[in-house]
Each structure stands twice: as C-alpha cells, then as structure tokens.
Amino acid sequence: MSGGTLLRSGLALTVALGAGCLLPQEDHILEDLPPEMNQPPRILENLLQPAGRFVSVRNGADCPNLTFLAPVSDPDVGDTIIYNFYIDPDIDPAFVKQSQLGNNGQADRPDPATLEVSFATPGPLQRPGEHVVEVLVSDGTLVNRDPQPRPVRLPDGGIGFDTTYAVTYAWVVTVSAGGCP
C-alpha cells in the first residue's frame, strides 16, 4: 500500500467517524415523568341556576320546587367530583345533600350538581328571612368541608400526596311567607 493510499484510507475513516454515526450513545436511561399534579375543579358560574346570587321565593307548600344547579368542569377528566349542598352552614354545618357527578371523560361534566328544595317538606328554607344555600364541589374525598390529599405513586416507588381542591358558590335566598299566586 502506497503512502497516498494510506492517507486516503485515513481520511475516509476520519470522515466516517466525523459523520457521527459511530459516536457513543448516552448511557443513562430517561426516567418516567412524575405524575401530573392535580388541577382544581371549577364551577361554571355563567351557567348557574338560579342565575343571580340573590333569589327571592315564597314558602307556601303550593310553591314550585326551587332547584339549584351548578355545572362543573375539571381538566382532570378522570377525577371523581363530589359535591355537598348546605343550607345556612353558619347555623347548621351538616350538608343537606351529598352526591357525585357522572363522568363522561370530558372536562365539562355531563350533569350539574343539583339540589331541589320542596316547600312542602319541613326544612330551613320554610322559615321566612334570608338564608344561604351553598354548594361545595371537590375533586377529593371530603372530611367535613376539607378535601383530603390523595396518595400517588412516585417514580422512585415512594408514595407522595397530591393536593385536592374544593370550590364553593353560595346563593342568598330571601324567603317570604305565603303561597304562590
């Protein structure tokens, strides 16, 4: 082999190496992404019923039922949404209704949080005066009104806790004595 041939071969090898096809790969393995943090649910205030924050009704047994609706959205489409309704929670902290929303795999949940109040039933809204009706919506388990952190598996195999959230809306209901003309 001549010197020129050797030089050409060396150049070819250098070019081949320089092209990078033989560069060593990184030797560390990409780790799993940590689990996504929980995002809070949201009450769609533009679709609440009754629409206004202030509601006036009569309390006669013949009056139509008063329905409260609170549509809910949660970007975490797999979250279970629990809701509680309270009437005058400053006086009576126990909820009057607890339920959970259906899940259609979409952020905007298919059915709203709902409370139907009948004036033919003994209840706090039969008393004339001002009352507060509050809906509390949570994407976590509730202990009283407090959403509980939910355990999540971390990439290193450990257990962490993800914050869950509760959001609320309240109506002021003015109840007047009398039937519905």
Partner 1 sequence: MRRVVAVAALAFAGCNLFGETPTTSAPCNGDSSCPSGQSCFVDGCGRLGDDLIAEVTTSAPTGVTAVDIPLGRPHSGLNLVLPAQQLLQVTSRRGANGYPAQRQLFASGTSSLLPGVGRYAQATDGTVSGVSPLAVSTGIYTLQVSPLDVTVPPAILRSVAVDAGLNTATVTLLPASDVTTVAGLVLAAPGAPEAIPPGVQLVAADGTSLSALITANGSGAFQLSFGTALPAGAVLQVTPGTGNLLGGTATFPVDDAGRFTQPFVVGDGVPAVTVQGTLLGPDGNPVAGASIFLQGLVVGGAVATVGPARTSDAGTFSLQTLPQADAGTLVLSAIPPPGSAAGFLTTPADVPPQGLVGSWMCPARPLVQGSVAYPDGGPAVGVGVRADPVGPAGPGIPQPPAGADGVTDQTGQFAVRLDPALYRLEVQAQGGYPALPGFFRIQGGGMLPDAALVVGRTLTANLRRDGGTVVDQALVRIYRPVILDDGTTRALLLGEAVSNSSGEVGILLPTR
Site for partner 1 in 50-89 (CB under 8 A): 50-52, 54-58, 60, 64-67, 69, 71, 73
Judged by CB, which is closer to partner 1: 147, or 171?
Answer: 171
Tell which residue, 69, 68, 70, has the closest CA to residue 42.
70
Decide: 73 and 108 in contact? Cβ < 8 Å: yes
Contact region for partner 1 (CB under 8 A) — 13-21, 35-43, 100-108, 161-169?
A: 100-108
Question: How many CA atoms are closer than 13 Å to the CA of 164, on its beta-carbon side?
Answer: 21
Judged by CB, which is closer to partner 1: 76, or 152?
Answer: 76
Residue whose token pair is 């899940």: 103
154 — phi, psi (to 5°)? Answer: -90, 160
As a whole number of angstroms, the distance between CA 56 and CA 59 comes to 10
Contact region for partner 1 (CB under 8 A) — 6-14, 74-82, 94-102, 143-151?
A: 94-102
Site for partner 1 in 13-52 (CB under 8 A): 44, 46-52
As a whole number of angstroms, the distance between CA 162 and CA 151 comes to 6
CB 37 to partner 1: min, Å: 24
**Of 10, 18, 129, 155, which one interacts with partner 1 (CB under 8 A)?**
129
CB 173 to partner 1: min, Å: 11
As a whole number of angstroms, the distance between CA 73 and CA 84 comes to 16
As a whole number of angstroms, the distance between CA 175 and CA 155 comes to 55
Decide: 131 and 108 in contact? Cβ < 8 Å: no
160 contributes a contact to partner 1 by CB under 8 A: no
CB 159 to partner 1: min, Å: 27
* Site residues, partner 1 (CB under 8 A): 44, 46-52, 54-58, 60, 64-67, 69, 71, 73, 92, 94, 96-97, 99, 102, 104, 108-112, 114, 116-118, 120-124, 126-130, 176-181
